[in-house]
Structure 1
Amino acid sequence: MYIVIPSCNDENLGETLPKWLAQKYNNYKVAVVEDCADNGIAETYGLRYVGDLKTSRRIKVYAGEKLLLLVRDGRHGLKGGALNDAIRALIALNPLRNPRYVVFIDSDHEPPDPWFIARAVSAIKRLGADLVQGVQRHLYLGSALDALVSLSHDISGTMLVGRSKLNLMPIFTGSTAIARLEPVTRLWFSEDTVTEDLDLSVRMWLNGYTIAATWSFYTWGRPPRNIKSFFKQQLRWSSGTIRVFTRYFKQVLKSDMPLGRKIDFIFQGTVFATSALYITIVIFIIYKVITGIYFSIYELILMFYLLIVGLTIDLYVEAKHNTPVRPHILPPFIEFATAFVHLAGTLLGLMGREYGWIRTQRKQTNVLSHSPSS
């Protein structure tokens, strides 16, 4: 069992990595692939330098009992390149005997307890899938942005699990997932897209592999540090998603996949593009308010939604995490502004371009008073 964690000098590893090294599982290795030429982890954990390894790129290798540090000299091939280099290095080094699975985790995510790996292995065996996507939960650390991110990931997890139960087309979302090594080493990650997770998901379905999603295991992630980081993240996702959609649209439609999965592929591929409709509706309502034109009952319902959604988000998240209730109506305005970012990213992707892989700056919990509930 390998746990692969891509990083670029990520300070969150100081909080998350010890929890991955403390898992109650007998046979596993944690591999951190570092893209910013930082070997600070080697000093912190007393890793020894064992030499350079040549895959598609040269990698410096530092090793310890459970931890491997793979240092690259840049972000070649984006995140997909980092993951490919990590897996190729692990195959070449062969630190474990007959490993069957690989867990993909983002550097800002941590397990809720020491039995994450055991639950993940149990889930992939029970579901019989080639890749099983767990649920990504985000810490609520006190802001409206945190509330929006937390709720959106709860909704996303619900949709993924629902699509799995309906035998549609659940996808790998880039983190908190366990996969069999064989399909990954056969297909590899695409290195020309910032949404390498969606790209691999579609190619897995096209090649007869299966993906399932479950509530059985989850991780805690850190929310974006500020609204600027959040917008950059959304621009990256929206531009990459539409590019993957247009890249595989004809192949999916011509494939022998069930109709339901093809429809689900269209839904997933255009999810950010629907921001254009959202923007149009809101602007139309604003125009009617300014001009004093009569509102229909449906428009009044939509206006009521815009007024209460922020309060609803706050009450839900704050009650869920037992934090002091500080309701406000900022989240719907963030959502409205984010729609413009999604539209910009969609247009960028349609022009054949993507917003580069820039690591999302995250909040750290060690300087804050809130912590995840068990």
Structure 2
Amino acid sequence: MIWQVSILILYTLSLSVIFIFSIGQAYLIYFYLKTSDEHNEEVITPSVLPIVTIQLPLFNELYVTERLINSVCNLNYPISKLEIQVLDDSNDDSLILTANIIKQKIAEGFNIKHITRDKNIGFKAGALQHGLSNAQGELIAIFDADFLPEADFLHQLIPHFQNPNIGMVQSRWGHINKNYSLLTKIQGFGLDGHFTIEQTGRNKANLFMNFNGTAGIWRKQCISDAGGWQHDTLTEDLDLSYRAQLKGWKFKYVEELTTPAELPIELNAFKSQQHRWTKGAIETSKKMIKEIWKADVGLKKKIFGSLHLLNSYVFLFVFLTSILSLPVLLIKNNSNIPVIYFQLLSVFMIGFIIVTVFYLIANFSKKDSFKAFAKLFPMFLSVSMALSFHNSIAVLEGLFNFKSDFIRTPKFNLSNIKQSFKDNVYINKKLPKSFYVELFLFVYFFLGIVAAFYYNDYGLLPFHLMLFLGFGILNYYALKHQLVKN
């Protein structure tokens, strides 16, 4: 009886934590809808254009470097006002390729510098800080290797800096290869929710928001005032964002400007990115939560800033809820626990409804059809829940100070499913150890489906079906990509 009660308490606690975070999402939905009809303030291009330094942090980007540099050099901005820093920590053949491309651009008249370091200290954050010390521009634009800024990017964002309190302006991410596969469609679907409801809601509600690491512009003074780029977390962008805003700087999110980028098309690359974002957020929360609550920023900003930084812990509670759901089903049908307890748990369905509304609104904001949403949302939710195991490991690593390197996400420069990444030199050619755990979990939740029919109890059946599907998709792509690589 004690172990049954313990499981039910832990299960209820996990559901309660997820519910609390979903309420936070509901608030962002409310404010997004409240402000969606408001006209953005009119911004006028300054009469004197500022000098802009564009930083391009690179590490072994053999397939996308030329595309990136060409895109940046095609920006509609006076060459005399533009400095391009290629911050190259590469240690492979891409270093020579990049050097040759830069020589060509210098011959064309661009002020472009190839900046390398003897030691890759601090990874991306270290490279950005190293370049900042010699940057000529008062504004610093940053693009990761997989991004392709539109020609008018600078003209769209620079006018916002006429407000002297603005320290950073962020554009929305687009996806050049969203239709490559189901995996990329799921990623794009999730990111669209973040860049529609979350970023807009936080910004409009005057809450803390974050620079997304790329496709944005910083005021150089803001970076310096906040203490510069620091590499004690894996999410240097989130860390600097909070330090800057706690110094009083304001951020601006411009949803109307989309900067196209490449989504990871290989499962290990996608999971590596998820691991870095999740673990880094935990590290940043440990570093910044106390600072938020000591600051004079108002209770609302403290609460929602905390929810923002602690959001990655949800993965741990989603995984706990998932694992415990099968024992809960067995307890319900093989114990004397009052049935009303299990019926009361249905209140947590409100959280699922909030998540559904969240992504439904994001879908409609992009003028996608309900039919497209109905097809993709269950897949997205299933994979997101299945990723809770992988991301829970990242949460625990961040929580218990397990240090790891900044693992870059391999780029492919592919947009057509007929194009193979078999010869990509950066991808991991081995099945990760997590594959075997996820295969076990695939079977585990199949047993949950069987149990539903055995007990004639279908309350958790949709939940187990989605987990079964989610782990099935992850296992499918793990095996499929393994066959492609070999």
Of 98, 107, 111, the match for 1:41 = 98
Report if aligned partners of 2:312, 2:395 keep a CA contact under 8 Å in 1.
yes
- TM-score with structure 1 length normalisation? 0.80
- Once the two structures are superposed, the pairs formed by residues 103-252 of structure 1 within 5 Å of their partners are 103-111=141-149, 113-125=150-162, 128-139=165-176, 140-158=178-196, 159-186=198-225, 187-252=227-292
Report if aligned partners of 1:144, 1:331 keep a CA contact under 8 Å in 2.
no
* Structure 1: distance between partners of 2:414 and 2:368: 18
* Structure 2: distance between partners of 1:70 and 1:320: 43
Report if aligned partners of 1:133, 1:173 keep a CA contact under 8 Å in 2.
yes
- Once the two structures are superposed, the pairs formed by residues 296-311 of structure 1 within 5 Å of their partners are 296=343
Of 9, 25, 31, the match for 2:85 = 31
Report if aligned partners of 2:180, 2:415 keep a CA contact under 8 Å in 1.
no
The CA RMSD measured in Å over matched residues stands at 3.5
Shift of 1:222: 0.8
Report if aligned partners of 1:124, 1:178 keep a CA contact under 8 Å in 2.
no
Q: Kindly tell me the number of residue pairs found equivalent between the two proteins.
A: 345
Unaligned runs of 5+ in 2: 1-51, 334-338, 420-486
Greater C-alpha radius of gyration:
2
* Structure 1: distance between partners of 2:256 and 2:162: 12
- TM-score with structure 2 length normalisation? 0.63
Shift of 1:235: 1.4
* Structure 2: distance between partners of 1:176 and 1:369: 29
Report if aligned partners of 1:4, 1:86 keep a CA contact under 8 Å in 2.
yes
Distance 1:364 1:48, change over 3 A: closer
Q: Which amino acid aligns with 1:359?
A: R
* Structure 1: distance between partners of 2:158 and 2:325: 50
Distance 1:122 1:343, change over 3 A: same
* Structure 2: distance between partners of 1:108 and 1:199: 22
- Partner in structure 1 of residue 60 of structure 2: 9
Which stretch shifts more, 8-17 or 102-111?
Answer: 8-17
Output one character per residue of 1:280-336: Cα deviation in whole Å (capped at 9) or x when no partner: 33334444566784874975996xx79xx8xx99xx699859xx9995764334212
Question: Percent sequence identity over matched residues?
Answer: 21
More helix by share: 2
- Partner in structure 1 of residue 21 of structure 2: none
* Structure 1: distance between partners of 2:108 and 2:233: 30
Report if aligned partners of 2:228, 2:240 keep a CA contact under 8 Å in 1.
yes
- Partner in structure 1 of residue 463 of structure 2: none
Report if aligned partners of 1:42, 1:48 keep a CA contact under 8 Å in 2.
no
* Structure 2: distance between partners of 1:118 and 1:276: 42
Distance 1:39 1:271, change over 3 A: same
Q: Which amino acid aligns with 1:163?
A: R
* Structure 2: distance between partners of 1:356 and 1:63: 37
- Partner in structure 2 of residue 53 of structure 1: none
Q: Which amino acid aligns with 2:409?
A: T
- Partner in structure 2 of residue 57 of structure 1: none
Unaligned runs of 5+ in 1: 50-61
Equivalent position SS for 2:384: helix
